Amino acid sequence: MLAYNETPVQQIQSDFLEKARMRLFLKREDLNHPFVSGNKWWKLKYNLEEARKKGQQKLLTFGGPYSNHIYATAAAAKACGMESIGMIRGEERLPLNSTLEFACREGMKLHYVSREMYRKKAEPGFVKDLEKKFGDFFLIPEGGTNEWAIQGCVEWTKKIQETKFDYLCLPVGTGGTMAGMIAGLQERNVIGFSVLKDGDFLTKDVSKLTFDYTGKVFSNWRIETQYHFGGYAKSNNALQDFIQQFEQDHDIALDRVYTGKMMFGILDSIKQNKFERETTILALHTGGLKGG
Ligand SMILES: *Cc1c(COP(=O)(O)O)cnc(C)c1O
């Protein structure tokens, strides 16, 4: 089992928020575990349990060379005494970047997959070939999003329910975490901030994930697609300056890929009067600052 540290809800105080008559809180889930942090802890929890139930000692998963999911899976496997294999998109580059170097140190075996093959990773033939090569394993998809991940995020909402809020905000990559929030919070409002360019397809993905999990259609949520800063892992000076200023003002670190974009999006939405006055927003700090 993975250790879990209870996490605080922290109010973000500023003149701007006070003048706008808004209350903004941050659920500091980045503090739940030093290496399997934020939403990745919850996304992996039931995957690990399921692997164990099936008697699997080996996890195999996919990710890009900077993937938080690869990083977290390597650490989680080690903590649970399991083996792990990371199928990394692209060619090996030495020296390893800090994500892959960490994964290696945690015992993950890295294998590189050409971009072309990587696109076929979900096809049965491809998975069969991997089984021939590596023997039995428990497969976790890229980004870790599957029904077990959603189950974990639904469980996470029990802790989030304790806080009073009008809107829950979170960054969206694959949408697995958001689907879990919608399914778990039921009728409460959820707003996702896409970190991907042209993120409109995420609305369809999140609808499908939520429906497949609950058998219900929810309408009290939406995804903002204006705050991607050029796309996945892209950033610019405005975003970097914002993150730096936020850390100076509030002593909270945000990452450039996910939480920085979400927080920028929330504050900008307030500026644009997209929220009613006297609204309470709870934002999820989903982690992503590797090494805790
Ligand atoms: C992986 C990740 C996300 C995205 O989660 P999805 O379930 O794929 O939408 C958000 N924030 C951080 C910090 C992450 O590492």
Q: How far apart are CA 33 and CA 118, in angstroms?
A: 30
**Whole-number average pLDDT of the chain:** 96
Measured in Å, residue 112 CA sits from the centre of ligand 1 at 22
Mean per-residue pLDDT, 235-250? 98
Q: Is the distance from CB of 91 to CB of 64 less than 8 angstroms?
A: no
Mean per-residue pLDDT, 190-199? 96
Both tokens of 1, joined, read 């089992």
Task: Verify whether ligand 1 is closer than 6 Å to residue 199 (CB atom).
Answer: no
Does residue 105 surpass a pLDDT of 70?
A: yes
Task: Verify whether ligand 1 is closer than 6 Å to residue 176 (CB atom).
Answer: yes
Q: What is the pLDDT of residue 211?
A: 98
DSSP 97: P
Q: Is residue 291 very low, low, confident or very high in pLDDT (cuts 50, 70, 90)?
A: low
Q: Which of 258, 263, 264 to mutate to test the pocket of ligand 1 (most atoms within 8 A of CB)?
A: 258
Buried b (16+ CB within 10 A) or exposed e, 59-82: bbbbbbbbbbbbbbbbbbbbbbeb
Q: CA 257 → CA 101, 176, 195, 229, distances in Å? A: 19, 16, 7, 9
pLDDT in tens, 54-79: 999 999 999 999 999 999 999 999 99
Does residue 113 surpass a pLDDT of 60?
A: yes
Close Cβ partners of 286 (under 8 Å, ≥ 6 residues apart):
29, 30, 38, 39, 170, 171, 177, 258, 259
Q: CA 120 → CA 67, 123, 176, 230, distances in Å? A: 19, 6, 21, 26
Measured in Å, residue 16 CA sits from the centre of ligand 1 at 28
DSSP 143: G
Measured in Å, residue 287 CA sits from the centre of ligand 1 at 8
Task: Verify whether ligand 1 is closer than 6 Å to residue 63 (CB atom).
Answer: no
Does residue 187 surpass a pLDDT of 90?
A: no
For the beta carbon of residue 98, count every other beta carbon within 10 angstroms.
Answer: 12
Enter the pTM of the model: 0.96
The count of C-alpha atoms lying within 13 angstroms of the C-alpha of 126, restricted to the half-sphere facing its C-beta, is 14
Q: What is the pLDDT of residue 292?
A: 40
Measured in Å, residue 286 CA sits from the centre of ligand 1 at 7
Q: Which atom of ligand 1 is the closest one to the Cα of 173? A: 9
Mean per-residue pLDDT, 112-128? 92
Q: Which of 7, 35, 39 to mutate to test the pocket of ligand 1 (most atoms within 8 A of CB)?
A: 39
Q: How far apart are CA 116 and CA 114, in angstroms?
A: 5
Q: Whose CA is nearest to atom 5 of ligand 1?
A: 173
Both tokens of 174, joined, read 């694959």
Does residue 236 surpass a pLDDT of 70?
A: yes
Q: Which of 140, 177, 195 to mutate to test the pocket of ligand 1 (most atoms within 8 A of CB)?
A: 177
